[in-house]
Amino acid sequence: MSQDVLLYMLIGVGVLFAVIVIAFLMINKNNKDRKYIMQLQAGTKTSKYSAEVVYQKLYMFYLRTPFLKRYILKLRRRLEIINIDDEYLTRMQASKILTKAFCIIIPLAIAIIIFTYQNVLLMSILLIFEVFMVDTFIDGMVDKIDNNLLKQQINFFSEIRHAYHETNMVEEAIYQTAQDDDNPEMSRQAEKIYEVLISDDPESELEKYYDIAPNPYLKEFAGVSYLTKEFGDRKVDGASLYLKNLNNITQEMQLEILKRDKLNYVFQSLSVISIVPLLCIEPLKNWAVSQFSFTESFYNGKDGLLVQILLVVVTFVCYILTRKLKDNGSTAMNTKNTENPWQEKLYKIPLVKKIVDLFIPKEGTKENRKLKKDMKDAASKDKIQWIYINRIMLCICTFFVSLFLLMQMHKLTIDNVYTDPTNTYNIIGQMADKDVKKAMEITESDNKYIERFKGDSSLTQEKIEKAMKAGTLTDDYINATDTELETAASRVMDKIKIVNSEYISWIEVLGALVLALIAYNAPILLLKFQKKMRQMEMEDEVMQFQTIILMLMRIERVNVEIILEWLERYSNIFKDPLNKCINNYESGPWEALEEMKDDVTYPQFIRIIESLQAAVEKIPIKDAFDELDTERDYYQAKRKESNDRLISKKGMIGKAIGFAPMVCLFVGYLIVPLVFIGLTSMTTSFSEMSSMGP
């Protein structure tokens, strides 16, 4: 081997050895780094199968599933406002709430199937109706988070008082208190408010925050903090005006928490109570038939089906009204997709748009103005086009569903003629197996004659008797007496009349049209119901206005226009008159306020407007509303008493609506049929006994 080859081999081995050493050092270093990272992660790394990870994966599953996507996005719209900039927590809470809702809904669906599997139509209606219940469970669980935030705000305001005493600076006090991890939801809101206050353009940033604030009390806190930072704090009766305003907001929140707790206590089970009767329809029917066999023809016939359908409709209406009644006074955010709902997508279709526009009243007409007023009074977020799409769709669906149900009832009656045992019912109890077998043999024999003679317009009882006597179809009546033939032929004749008469008549079509007309007006009636319920909230809103004015009237450089802007920002019922007044304010303050006074009818709000008019030209704001400060205790007591009356009134209406399905179930579906059919059966029996006498 030459020296050159040996040299090359030695160089190659050396290079390979160097590569191996370098690779070993790199691998060793990586192992050390990996061990160090594992040590850092120890105690903090989440398990692969932890609940949080599961909820995150479920969130992605819900988001990809078409039907579930609607609910998960609806949850996001509420939760992402509370969990500002915390995407992980928003997803986890949304997934957790929806999963819990399904844990309640799925067992309920199984119970519905178990109790109503014999009645496919009722089972289908209940399963469809259960979809609407998901909203109830979701809203209830989100409301708990909303209420928890409100309670955290009280603790936060208590802490900020101490911080403000130490720093005497609004933004520093908010920042210092926001570092507290005991109130995470409120801390996020406080950090957002702090960012607004220290921004280059706090006024515009504050307007943006007003649009996403979870409740009006955070708006008030952010606004008061901004005004204090800009114009400075001052002493009133030896105390800080800023802290006095915080105390006023705290009192408002305490009243709101008490109000919500009482409303939740009153309505906590009414929605469920209004639904429970639907689960009892089939068990109640089975019990009544087993104990009183004479009711079988009613419960298994079209009359029983009609009562079942009416019960479902009554339950659905009561369920919707109960929810509207409870949610009317809530400060929860509107989670409906107001940008592009299914109505908007449908309206964009040219043909649909042309049809819908034919129904919408023209601009400037009395009907158009009345509808817009009802929508404003009901605080509806819908457009007129969406309402009319709802009306038309409800009308069409109700008409065709009514026709379908009528066809089902006719079919059910005909099926009962062919399948019901032919016998004389006992008043109490059931027939023996021997009697049932004999009755079914008579039914099968009658069915042959029904199939032969149904649809014959010239049919007479004598014709049936001749066929029975001849034995062309059956040999059951070849040796029968004339009395037996007459009885059997009369029975078959009655059955044939029933079969021939079971078709959709013009009267039933007219009834379906009437129901469709009622459904067409249902969205408008619901608007009027919401409007009526909102009128009950007027006194509460005016008292909130008084609190806002009490906070603003002693702040330097606050004028009537600023007060109007604050009232409009926190208003709900009187939002439109206030908005109109602000738009017209530049053309003349007194005239704009006078016009607003003409637009409203509530006396207490008119008094506020008159005081604002006095503050425009005659006296300072603090003098115009001097009675608010001197009679603060009176207004607080009056506010509590007003809330109690409001809750009591809503509770009475809610209980009447919530228990209506239960009353209809026992009275309309059990007691009335038992009494009416029982009396009819007894009357028939007595008549037969009398005819058999000497």
pLDDT at 282 over 50: yes
* Mean pLDDT score, 476-486: 76
pLDDT bucket at 423, cuts 50 / 70 / 90 = low
Q: What is the pLDDT of residue 687?
A: 63
pLDDT tens by residue, 234-258: 887 777 888 888 888 888 888 888 8
Q: What is the pLDDT of residue 30?
A: 55
Instruction: Tell me if 368 sits within 8 A of 387, measured CB to CB.
Output: no
pLDDT bucket at 330, cuts 50 / 70 / 90 = very low
d(CA 536, CA 652): 13
Q: What is the pLDDT of residue 343?
A: 83
pLDDT tens by residue, 577-604: 888 888 888 888 888 888 888 878 778 8
Of 7-11, 48-52, 385-389, the poorest mean pLDDT is in 7-11
3-state secondary structure (DSSP) of residue 75:
helix
Q: What is the pLDDT of residue 688?
A: 56
Of 116-130, 207-221, 608-622, the poorest mean pLDDT is in 116-130
Of 27-41, 121-135, 477-491, the poorest mean pLDDT is in 27-41
Q: What is the pLDDT of residue 395?
A: 92
pLDDT bucket at 206, cuts 50 / 70 / 90 = confident
Question: At 326, phi and psi to the nearest 5?
Answer: -75, -40
d(CA 43, CA 45): 6
pLDDT bucket at 1, cuts 50 / 70 / 90 = very low
* Mean pLDDT score, 60-72: 82
Tokens matching residue 122: 């009722």
* Mean pLDDT score, 648-658: 85
Share of the chain above pLDDT 90, in %: 2
pLDDT at 289 over 70: yes
Higher pLDDT pick, 441 / 147: 147
Range from 179-188, 358-367, 614-623 that averages highest in pLDDT: 358-367
Higher pLDDT pick, 125 / 570: 570
Close Cβ partners of 173 (under 8 Å, ≥ 6 residues apart): 160, 163, 164, 166, 167
Q: What is the pLDDT of residue 513?
A: 92
d(CA 112, CA 121): 12
pLDDT at 27 over 60: no
3-state secondary structure (DSSP) of residue 479:
coil
Q: What is the pLDDT of residue 396?
A: 92
Range from 327-331, 423-427, 593-597 that averages highest in pLDDT: 593-597
pLDDT at 40 over 50: no
Lookup result for tokens 């090359």:
8
pLDDT tens by residue, 609-638: 888 888 887 778 878 787 776 666 777 777
pLDDT at 327 over 70: no
How far from each other are the two terminal CA atoms of the chain, in whole angstroms?
144
Q: What is the pLDDT of residue 432?
A: 63
pLDDT at 44 over 70: no
pLDDT bucket at 337, cuts 50 / 70 / 90 = very low
d(CA 317, CA 311): 10
Radius of gyration of the chain (CA): 37
Report how far Cα 581 is from the mean position of its chain's Cα atoms. Answer: 34
Give CA angle at 617 (615, 622), nearest 5°. Answer: 25
Higher pLDDT pick, 116 / 662: 662
Higher pLDDT pick, 51 / 385: 385
User: What letter represents residue 58's amino acid?
Assistant: L
pLDDT bucket at 43, cuts 50 / 70 / 90 = very low
What secondary structure does DSSP assign to 88-121, as a single string?
HHHHHHHHHHHHHHHHHHHHHHHHHHHHHTT-HH
3-state secondary structure (DSSP) of residue 584:
coil
pLDDT at 454 over 70: yes
pLDDT bucket at 340, cuts 50 / 70 / 90 = low
Instruction: Tell me if 68 sits within 8 A of 62, measured CB to CB.
Output: yes
Which one, of 322, 212, 214, lies nearest residue 650 by Cα?
322
Higher pLDDT pick, 457 / 260: 260
Q: What is the pLDDT of residue 329?
A: 43
Question: At 301, phi and psi to the nearest 5?
Answer: -100, -175
* Mean pLDDT score, 112-116: 77
Q: What is the pLDDT of residue 372?
A: 81
Instruction: Tell me if 577 sits within 8 A of 589, measured CB to CB.
Output: no
d(CA 580, CA 599): 10
Q: What is the pLDDT of residue 162?
A: 86
3-state secondary structure (DSSP) of residue 157:
helix
* Mean pLDDT score, 527-546: 78
pLDDT bucket at 16, cuts 50 / 70 / 90 = low
* Mean pLDDT score, 366-383: 79
Higher pLDDT pick, 410 / 44: 410
Q: What is the pLDDT of residue 517?
A: 93
Share of the chain above pLDDT 70, in %: 85
pTM, two decimal places? 0.69
pLDDT at 11 over 70: no
